[in-house]
Amino acid sequence: MALIEDTKITYANTYWHNTYGRVPKAAAQSAVTLVHLYNTYVDYNRFFTVGAGGNSSTAYAQVLYENNYVNREAGYYTDKGSYGYINWKNNMVANSLGNGSQFCIEGTSSRTCTATAPTDNIFSPTYSYVFHDRASLPTMIPEYAGIGGKWGSMPAYNQAFSISNKAPSVSLSAAVGSDKSSITFTATASDTDGTIENVAFYVGNTLVGTATSSPYKLTVSGVPAGTYSLIAKATDNSGLTNVSAFVTLSVAGPTTGITSSVSATEAEAGYYRIYNVQGRPVYAGEKLPAKYPAGQSMVAEYGKDGKILKTWMNLQK
């Protein structure tokens, strides 16, 4: 049995095979439950196909069951309890194992069943969706909706099937500058169903900067000699993210300690953070320290608004 309680959900292109129980049972305990099913295939169920019931006029359950194929139902097609509403619409049934009076309403002491499908006045979905040919569902659904099938996961309640919001795509390239101590990140990012909010650039796990418009580029200067793994993370207007493949490159680095100009004075900056080569913070303060950690580290300068103003690499010998 699939129990849906106090929520809203859509089942689209779903395969129910050899089940025992309501698929689904819509129940409302303390809130409204709305369930929409279309393009589903039920093959051999040994209880009710659909059930709905609630607790009160403010905690009711509604099921819109349309354009589905029910094969070999051994029990009843629908079962409605108090504050339960079902609209059985344009469904196909075959090889029923019941007695023909398979649409039921529960009473206080008994259940009344008839041959007339319920057509209760219930909710209308706020999203668009497309019906498949009902006669094709017994062949189409097992092939496409199973593991490895070409249809993805179920859509959210307010989305049409197969047009659920998709994460952006992003790829990264990087090059060492002619000074042999700088790295330029260049990312290509796109979103098929929205826009790119920003692309963040990382050295290992450490954020070194963000670009908010195309071309998505960033240059980090004063990089000590070493081999680095770089990555870009794109965020779209819906908040979904995706990361690029790692890019690994080697930097010859300067022969002496690293110096770099920064985009703001200490009076303009809000605070500084220093990260070690593993990306772990080892210092935070309103001013740069008198002595840097030994070895290689990255310095990030933040403005008073919390945004990164500048980053650079430091080598303390």
Three-state SS letters, 158-195:
CCCCCCCCCCCEEEEEEEECCCCCCEEEEEEEECCCCC
Domain carrying residue 219: 165-317
Give the DSSP letter string of 137-153: HHHHHHHHSSTT-SS-S
- Greatest distance between any 2 Cα atoms in the chain: 91
What are the b/e assignments for 32-45, b being 16+ CB within 10 Å?
bbbbbbbbbbbbbb
| pLDDT at residue 262, as a whole number | 37
Is residue 50 located within the same domain as residue 124?
yes
Asked whether residue 305 is domain-assigned, the answer is: yes
> What's 243's domain CATH number?
2.60.40.10
Name the token pair of 229.
């793994």
Is residue 180 located within the same domain as residue 263?
yes
Domain final residue pick, 88, 114, 144: 144
Share of the chain above pLDDT 90, in %: 41
CA 53 distance to own-chain centroid: 31
Asked whether residue 149 is domain-assigned, the answer is: no
Tell me if 177 sits within 8 A of 219, measured CB to CB: yes
Specify the range with the lowest mean pLDDT, choosing from 25-29, 30-34, 210-214, 255-259. 255-259
Residue 285 makes CB contacts below 8 A (sequence gap 6+) with: 271, 272
User: Given a cut of 60, is residue 146 above it in pLDDT?
Assistant: no
Is residue 306 located within the same domain as residue 186?
yes
Is residue 213 located within the same domain as residue 82?
no
| Cis preceding-peptide flag for 293 (omega within 30 of 0) | no
- Residue 46, φ and ψ in degrees, nearest 5: -105, 25
Asked whether residue 160 is domain-assigned, the answer is: no
Is residue 9 located within the same domain as residue 139?
yes
User: Given a cut of 80, is residue 136 above it in pLDDT?
Assistant: yes
Tell me if 254 sits within 8 A of 260, measured CB to CB: no
Specify the range with the lowest mean pLDDT, choosing from 56-65, 181-190, 298-307. 298-307
What secondary structure letter does DSSP report for 98?
S
Is residue 108 located within the same domain as residue 24?
yes
| pLDDT at residue 162, as a whole number | 45
- Residue 192, φ and ψ in degrees, nearest 5: -70, -20
Burial of 58 (0-12, 13-18, 19+ CB in 10 A): exposed
Asked whether residue 154 is domain-assigned, the answer is: no
Check residues 203 and 134 and name the one with the higher pLDDT. 134
What secondary structure letter does DSSP report for 132?
P
Tell me if 105 sits within 8 A of 111, measured CB to CB: yes
User: Given a cut of 80, is residue 37 above it in pLDDT?
Assistant: yes
Is residue 193 located within the same domain as residue 94?
no
Tell me if 115 sits within 8 A of 101, measured CB to CB: yes
| Per-residue pLDDT reduced to its tens digit, 63-111 | 999 999 999 998 889 999 999 999 999 999 999 877 667 899 987 778 8
169-176: strand order across its sheet: 169-176, 183-190, 216-220
Q: Using pLDDT thresholds of 50, 70 and 90, give the confidence band for residue 249.
A: confident
| Per-residue pLDDT reduced to its tens digit, 187-208 | 999 998 889 999 999 987 788 8
Asked whether residue 121 is domain-assigned, the answer is: yes
Is residue 176 located within the same domain as residue 139?
no
Asked whether residue 126 is domain-assigned, the answer is: yes
User: Given a cut of 70, is residue 44 above it in pLDDT?
Assistant: yes
Is-above-0.85 flag for pTM? no
Is residue 129 located within the same domain as residue 194?
no
Q: How many structural domains comprise the chain? A: 2
Asked whether residue 41 is domain-assigned, the answer is: yes
Asked whether residue 159 is domain-assigned, the answer is: no
Q: What is the Rg, in whole angstroms, of the alpha carbon atoms belonging to the chain?
A: 30
| Per-residue pLDDT reduced to its tens digit, 267-281 | 445 678 887 766 677
Is residue 134 located within the same domain as residue 265?
no
Distances (CA, A) of 188 to 96, 173, 217, 229, 306: 56, 9, 9, 18, 26
Domain final residue pick, 96, 113, 144: 144
Is residue 235 located within the same domain as residue 203?
yes
Is residue 139 located within the same domain as residue 91?
yes
Q: Average pLDDT, stretch 132-146?
A: 85
